[in-house]
Amino acid sequence: MAHVSPVEVEKSLKGIDYPAKKDDLIKHAKQQGASQDVLETLKELPEENFKSPIDVSKAIGEIDRP
């Protein structure tokens, strides 16, 4: 997995309305010009509704664990 900082992901999701589904996060990040690493990270998230940026950060933290 590509290693991206939560700040990088948050910048890519700036302005998105929560709650948001995984597909919504990816689409919004693409529109914001997110890096390929950010997009790859978002694609690894579980299929669920994210209620806030904190939920997204927590889910990314879960992915990162060995």
Q: 10-47 pLDDT, tens per residue?
A: 999 999 999 999 999 999 999 999 999 999 999 999 99
Enumerate the domain spans of the chain: 6-64
DSSP states of 10-60: HHHTTTPPSSEEHHHHHHHHHHTT--HHHHHHHHTS-SSEE-SHHHHHHHH
The pLDDT assigned to 7 comes to: 86
